[in-house]
Structure 1
Amino acid sequence: MASSKAGSTSGVSRRSVVAGGLALAASAPAFAAAPAGTVRAPAGDFVGTREGGVHAFRGIRYGRAERFRAAVPVTQPGTRVPAQRFGPICPQKAEGDEPRSEDCLFLNIWTAEPRAAARKPVMLYIHGGAYSNGSVTDPMNDGQRLAARGDVVVVTVNHRLNAFGYLYLARLDPRFADSGNLGQLDLILALQWVRDNIAAFGGDPNCVMVFGQSGGGAKIATMMAMPAAKGLFHRAATMSGQQVTASGPLNATARARAYLQRLGVTDSNLEPLLTMPTERLVDALDATDPILGGGVYFGPVLDMKWLTRHPFWPDAHPQGLAIPMLLGNTHDETRAFLSPDSPRVQGLTWDNVADRIAPELRIDILPEWVVAQYRQRFPDWTPTQVFYDATTCGRSWRGQVIEAEERAKAGAPGWVYQVDFGSRTDPRRGAFHTMDIPLVFGTLDAAGSQTGTAADARAASAAMQESFVAFTKTGDPNHHGLPNWPRYELAGRTTMIFDVRSRVEDDPRRWQRELFARVPYIQPGT
């Protein structure tokens, strides 16, 4: 991606240069890695690679941990440390060929100018996959093109997931007092590493934005309520990921017992857990959740040690109110989870749509009434359109609305967006969950991206990327080339709609918001 300096007097707008860079990046072959210089940081002397004008440092260890215990920082001052390959990701059920290990506390850095005087804003990304799956080694999360702009340093972080990061054992064995929130503590440890070392890579430790999609956004919302994270980041952006409430300790303990039973371990003697092969712990992740049914849920726990109140209940946690925040969702979230080709969607009719919607809404509301309301409001819609809109608005969007409105009530700085740019490879999917990842990273041609690389995708990507970078720099997403984007306030509920031609709307989907506000929202898993 082309790099340009703010304040350029070349006569070409900065946004034009960036959009042109996106066009080149979208069609360019992968950059060949070349040896790069050494960055001397307090934690070690790191040797990375140079790729397309960007210095990349992969697989930097930020911590080490024993099973079910909090991690400790790892530093090697003055020691030459190779940083040319991704570290292993956390063991998980999800398919993939990346190396996996419980020893997975590694981060990656992309920077165009690795010198302390550069002091560029830092964008630190936390991956999705709920709290159980995923990694930042996904090609759509690659930071090269975002860093190649030349005005930000990009960091991506892997951490412990599922049972390794969120199995709550504290009520069963005092040795595991920090369990239940270990994945969160890993992220906090990574942010401490960034605070202490990122200046050597050209980053400004006093201007760090955390951004994350899906589970990554939920982890960020949770950190905004964790005293241990205070002061470690200065902006926050959540992309289709919210955490209104955490798992209660009693439910979390019931889930731990279900998982232990699947392993054949009694809750009165957890010693076998410490030596059990990793593979067995992964296999048992399919234990039945005693609260929700389905696979056992893992997520942050209201343990009264690291997390002492819910992130957004009964209101927005006071700790996060001073942090400017971007909150976004895609227009068709559930088209990612519920494939148009799946049995749940195939054969939808007005006779069966209520029954099929009911378990997907995740709230206790009369599904027949919901369908009737939709048919009256949108008489031209098909059962499939009603199914996807209701499940998106009743299930995936509710948490974001609650978070944005609680912050607005408190007068906290916040901006809300909605992604309407839809799949170009399978139009049936619309603007599905994860659609915004390649748009923000500029990885339009990466494996898994459905944006395409045409001018429309480049325009949507430039709009999102410029907004995220402006927000990182200033705490305000407004920039030249987009309509004025006001803060989210209850009077207007102004929302940026990112699309081929991005625009601002007041209170989009007001009807759906009011419809589902009739019943309480229960955060899945809590």
Structure 2
Amino acid sequence: EYKVPQALGSGYGMSWEPVIDGDFLPTNPVTKDSFAAAGKDVPLLIGTNRTEWTGFPLIVNMAQSQSDNINTWSDAEIDKRLYEAYGDKTDAVVRAFLKAYPNKTKADALYIDTLIRLPILKIMEHKVAQGGAPVYAYLFSWDSPVMNGIYMSYHTAEIPFVFHNIDKMEARIGDGRDARTLSDRMSDAWIHFARYGTPGTPDLPRWEPYTHQSGATMIFDTTIREGHHHDRELLQLLAPDYKLFE
């Protein structure tokens, strides 16, 4: 539909990614069952956003969504939509969601990303299994307040915070004090990682490496905290058949 030219060949696709050419990039960095040997001794900083793609229907239909979203629905409408989404698992999903994200509301449980979150977790697990350089995991769950909150923590929302240029994205992020503080904290962490291979800074909680046992993940929100397998129960409810090592 969008007719994005493929990197190789004459067809179209929807993929922007490095090309495995056997020279500059000799192999895929992450294979089906392992992490590439060339990256064994390179630290990895990796993560996802809480809502990622799940809120895009709201953004695409912004004219209606500004007055028709989780911030305008009644409790009855929210309960109805939750049941339509999760059926008999609704109560369990809401409980697990609020355990994972205690600063959110049950309505926020309507927008939970697994499409990107699960493969990223698989990459973390493969990297850890190599026994090489550490993995530092993050999850960005700060929800934009603009346009009556319809943006939430959309795909790529963390990028202006990392590069400390949220002023270029006021239409989507706003100019609130909490956003500016979060940008300071995140950009400092990424700079520290680039310089020293660790993202921990004095202004953050202690940032432990991710391991299979700890599941240590820095959760970036208005309040920054470190979680440990914070959403494991939630993901198991939503994707019970997903295998991290397959």
Identify the TM-score tier after normalising by the shorter chain: 0.7 to 0.9
> What are the Cα deviations for residues 276-306 of structure 1, in whole angstroms up to 9, with x where unaligned?
xxxxxxxxx5xxxxxxxxxx44455986745
Which residue among 128, 137, 141 is the counterpart of 1:408? Answer: 128
Aligned to 2:7: 166
CA distance in 1, matches of 2:156, 2:170: 10
Tell me the amino acid that sits aligned with residue 416 of structure 1. Answer: A
Aligned to 2:182: 460
1:510 maps onto 2:232 in alignment: yes
Residues 55, 152 of structure 2: 8 Å contact kept: no
Task: Please state whether the residue corresponding to 2:45 is helix, strand or coil.
Answer: strand
Q: Identity of paired residues, percent?
A: 20
RMSD (Å) for aligned C-alpha atoms:
3.5
Task: Please state whether the residue corresponding to 1:466 is helix, strand or coil.
Answer: helix
> What are the Cα deviations for residues 308-365 of structure 1, in whole angstroms up to 9, with x where unaligned?
45623211111112111101211121244232674999899559945xxxxxxxxxxx
After superposition, the Cα gap between the structure-2 partners of 1:520 and 1:337, relative to the gap in structure 1 and judged at 3 Å, is farther
| Structure whose residues are more often helix by fraction | 2
Structure 1 residues not aligned, in runs of 5+: 1-92, 94-131, 133-161, 170-255, 260-284, 286-295, 355-369, 522-526
Residues 51, 111 of structure 2: 8 Å contact kept: yes
| Structure whose residues are more often strand by fraction | 1
CA distance in 2, matches of 1:464, 1:450: 18
1:470 maps onto 2:192 in alignment: yes
CA distance in 2, matches of 1:352, 1:374: 6
Task: Please state whether the residue corresponding to 1:313 is helix, strand or coil.
Answer: coil
Task: Please state whether the residue corresponding to 1:497 is helix, strand or coil.
Answer: strand
Residues 435, 449 of structure 1: 8 Å contact kept: no
Deviation at 1:494, TM superposition (A): 0.8
CA distance in 2, matches of 1:454, 1:376: 34
Deviation at 1:404, TM superposition (A): 0.9
> What are the Cα deviations for residues 176-221 of structure 1, in whole angstroms up to 9, with x where unaligned?
xxxxxxxxxxxxxxxxxxxxxxxxxxxxxxxxxxxxxxxxxxxxxx
CA distance in 2, matches of 1:437, 1:299: 17
Residues 141, 220 of structure 2: 8 Å contact kept: yes
Tell me the amino acid that sits aligned with residue 406 of structure 1. Answer: H
Aligned to 1:313: 32
Matching of residues 325-344 of structure 1 within 5 Å: 325-339=44-58, 342=61
After superposition, the Cα gap between the structure-2 partners of 1:504 and 1:301, relative to the gap in structure 1 and judged at 3 Å, is closer
CA distance in 2, matches of 1:445, 1:301: 30
CA distance in 2, matches of 1:510, 1:378: 14
Aligned to 2:142: 421
Aligned to 2:242: 519
Tell me the amino acid that sits aligned with residue 321 of structure 1. Answer: K
> What are the Cα deviations for residues 84-120 of structure 1, in whole angstroms up to 9, with x where unaligned?
xxxxxxxxx5xxxxxxxxxxxxxxxxxxxxxxxxxxx
CA distance in 2, matches of 1:297, 1:407: 27
CA distance in 1, matches of 2:20, 2:218: 37
After superposition, the Cα gap between the structure-2 partners of 1:439 and 1:472, relative to the gap in structure 1 and judged at 3 Å, is same
Structure 2 residues not aligned, in runs of 5+: 70-76, 99-104
CA distance in 1, matches of 2:153, 2:49: 6
CA distance in 1, matches of 2:122, 2:177: 35
CA distance in 2, matches of 1:452, 1:408: 37
TM-score (norm 2): 0.74
Residues 161, 187 of structure 2: 8 Å contact kept: yes
Deviation at 1:419, TM superposition (A): 1.2
Aligned to 1:373: 89
Aligned to 2:74: none
> What are the Cα deviations for residues 26-75 of structure 1, in whole angstroms up to 9, with x where unaligned?
xxxxxxxxxxxxxxxxxxxxxxxxxxxxxxxxxxxxxxxxxxxxxxxxxx
CA distance in 2, matches of 1:309, 1:434: 23
Task: Please state whether the residue corresponding to 1:484 is helix, strand or coil.
Answer: coil
Deviation at 1:452, TM superposition (A): 2.1
Aligned to 2:166: 444
